[in-house]
Amino acid sequence: MKIDSKTVQDVAHLARLEFEAEGEQKIINDMNRMLGFVEKLNELNTDGIEPLIYMTEETNHLREDVVHPPLSHKEVLQNAPKHDSDYFKVPKVVEKK
């Protein structure tokens, strides 16, 4: 398979990306190099090799799930950068029209 301009434009549309002409050519070259690498991997004989599911033999060591008493209102607001007596204060992100 060879990557061409149409393929890059289709992928860019799906990913909502935009390229300038010289950027598109660079993407075409990079994608063709990636496909070449994958093709090289396809030459390896992998008969009898189990798929790798985990990178190590380690297991997760999780802490005991213990219920703790809830934090008080004062404790919760203690580390907030800005707050009033009851609530966190944050910058306004939604404008009313």
Question: Where do the structural domains in the chain lie, given as residue ranges?
Answer: 5-42
Contacts of residue 66, Cβ cutoff 8 Å, sequence gap at least 6: none
Determine the length of the chain: 97
What pLDDT is attached to residue 34? 93
What pLDDT is attached to residue 68? 92
What pLDDT is attached to residue 55? 80
Q: CATH number of the domain at 5-42, please?
A: 1.10.20
- To the question of pTM greater than 0.85 for the whole model, the response is no
Residue 1 has pLDDT above 80, yes or no: no
Residues 26-59 have pLDDT tens digits of 999 999 999 999 999 888 898 988 888 878 888 8
Question: Per-residue DSSP letters for 8-57?
Answer: HHHHHHHHT----HHHHHHHHHHHHHHHHHHHHHHTS--TTPPPP--SSS
